[in-house]
Amino acid sequence: MIGNIYAIAAVAIIGGGLFGFDISSMSAIIAIPQYKCYFQSEPIPDDHSQCVGPTSSVQGGITAAMPGGSWLGALCSGYISDMFGRKKAIMIGAVIWWIGSTIICASQNVGMLVAGRVINGFCVGICSAQVPGLQMIPAIGLFFAMFLLPESPRWLARKDRWEEVHSVLTLVHGKGDPHSPLVTREMGEIREMVEFEKNNADVTYLELFKPHMINRTHIGVFTQIWSQLTGMNVMMYYITYVFTMAGISGNQLLVSSSVQYVINVVMTVPALLYVDRWGRRPTLLVGAALMMTWLFANAGLLASKGRYAGAKGVKNVKEASWEVAGPASKAVIACSYLFVASYAPTWGPVSWIYPPELFPLRVRGKAVALATSANWAFNFALGYFVPPAFVNIKWQTYLVFGVFCFSMFVHVFFLFPETAGKTLEEVVDIFEDPKGIKNIGTPAWKTRVSTRQTSMLERGGVDQEKGA
């Protein structure tokens, strides 16, 4: 049994890596002739380079099938992990991945492809990973690696298996010493957690919609909704359409598309290092403003320097319904990269950090689950919307997402309070401030980052949230 915390984390990372692989693989596959001819909506021409692929609405459905399944999986994940434990839930998910991936690999038509992606998407909701095609290989590795990992001690504690809890903590935290002070402290914290959950077992989703809680619920849900309405995920899925409009094709198209994934990874690092000092509000506001700028810039470039590419689009890619050349095409590519660079350190990480900080422990689990389900629901909707949008409203698609970014800027400024560096009690005081707005509390624009608390925690000070 592996007890090294880094090895355990490394296995867990496989899951997240597989999820990201879907976006990169789908964005690459939809542009190649083999895919377009295999799922051709019209009779296949003798010259395969003339294949146009599925219709835009069908392509939207193919892409959206995964987040649609993920939405359902997210709703079921809590029940599955509570019943079987996190370790077994991931292993069950891996088996289902193989089933979904086998269906995808054996797809004879669009129906089989969609069914396989829905099944894989269900597993994304459970395990935040999916495994189409070659991803079966790391999924197999993930399945067998799970045999070497210990079960979650918190799940074991909920099942009253305290001897196993102590054994896992001794392995992971005590380095084999069952009397380690760290093991003793962790055991105490887990006992407190289990007792707290027993005392709050009556919590329901309806509690999130009571007058004193509904503002927090709306903020948490809209944080995830706005994260999707930035257009980041769907633009990454369909970036090959944009670059085809800009005149890029062949291997150069794949290389140019892959650059955005490198930018996404690299630009996430500053947020991981400094987001607690920047604060949640400034980070979200700056991100929305920058993304709005690049989206409107692309809309302006395409409108003023581009032209309609005809019914079949650029190089028979009907979703590439507009074409632009010369310096303007390079500017479109640059703005696309800058858009990714603006999302990665802002809405990308903060949309996951921020919602849990809004809620007291009693309702936090259900609140985060509700917000996450909203994320997948809008991921599904936008995945379906974008291909037909590029065909029907062309460059104006950028205006739609630009307006969304403007709207989220206004929404964040007036209603999203600062939570960085604050204890649970301080967050409660913000939302229940008797001198503030009824059922809203302290006006959001008056809240600030608590840097003193952040600095103390970074130096290893006492966590004031403990026992809250």
Residue 13 banded pLDDT, cuts 50, 70, 90? low
Neighbours of 285 (CB within 10 A): 18
The rounded distance, in Å, linking the Cα atoms of 27 and 15 is 19
pLDDT tens-place string over residues 386-425: 999 999 999 999 999 999 999 999 999 999 999 998 888 8
At residue 12's C-alpha, the angle toward residues 134 and 362, to 5°, is 130
Residue 454 confidence (pLDDT) above 60:
no
For tokens 């913000």, the residue is 430
What average pLDDT does range 300-329 have in this prediction? 92
Segment 248-274 mean pLDDT: 88
Identify the bridge partners of residue 307 per DSSP, sorted by sequence position: 323
Encoded amino acid at 94, one letter: A
Give the span between the Cα atoms of 235 and 230, in whole angstroms.
9
Residue 51 pLDDT exceeds 50: yes
CA–CA distance, 165 with 258 (Å, rounded to integer): 43
State yes or no: pLDDT of 131 exceeds 70.
Answer: no
Average pLDDT over residues 192-196: 88
Q: For position 129, what pLDDT does the model report?
A: 36
**More reliable by pLDDT, 334 or 12:** 334
Question: Which residues have C-beta within 8 Å of that of residue 4, sequence separation ≥ 6?
Answer: none
Report which of 130, 22, 121, 19 is spatially closest to residue 72, judged by C-alpha positions.
Answer: 121
Q: Stretch 254-266: mean pLDDT, rounded?
A: 88
Q: Where are the beta strands (DSSP E) in 225-378?
A: 307-308, 322-323
Q: Give the pair of three-digit tokens for residue 86.
A: 């996190």
Sequence-ordered list of residues with C-beta below 8 angstroms from that of 8, at least 6 positions apart, any chain: 2, 149, 150, 172
pLDDT at 447: 93
Q: Provide the pLDDT for residue 132.
A: 41
Beta bridge partners of 437: 441
Say how far apart CA 227 and CA 350 lie, in whole Å.
9
Structure tokens at 88: 């077994």
pLDDT(303) > 90: yes
Phi, psi angle pair for 8, to nearest 5°: -60, -45
pLDDT at 138 over 80: no
- Which is higher by pLDDT, 427 or 257? 427
Predicted confidence at residue 439, as pLDDT, reads 86
> pLDDT at position 41, please?
80
List the one residue out of 313, 232, 244 whose CA is nearest residue 31. Answer: 244
What gap in Å lies between CA 348 and CA 467, rounded to an integer?
30
299 or 88: which leads in pLDDT? 299
Residue 166 — very low, low, confident or very high, per pLDDT cuts 50/70/90?
very high
Residue type, 416: F
Angle between helices 110-127 and 56-84 (to 10 degrees): 40
pLDDT, mean of residues 332-345: 95
Decide: 370 and 216 in contact? Cβ < 8 Å: no
What is the C-alpha separation between 148 and 167, in angstroms, rounded? Answer: 14
Q: Averaged over 64-83, what is the pLDDT?
A: 81
Over residues 169-175, the mean pLDDT reads 87
- pLDDT over 60 (residue 348): yes
* Residue 204 Cα distances to 152, 208, 335, 357, angstroms: 24, 8, 45, 19
pLDDT band at 358 (very low <50, low <70, confident <90, very high): very high
Contacts by 376-379, CB closer than 8 A, 24 or more apart: 376/67, 376/68, 376/70, 376/71, 376/74, 376/125, 377/67, 377/71, 378/224, 378/225, 378/228, 378/229, 379/64, 379/67, 379/70, 379/71, 379/228, 379/233, 379/234
pLDDT at 88 over 50: yes
* Mean pLDDT, residues 164-192 taken together: 89
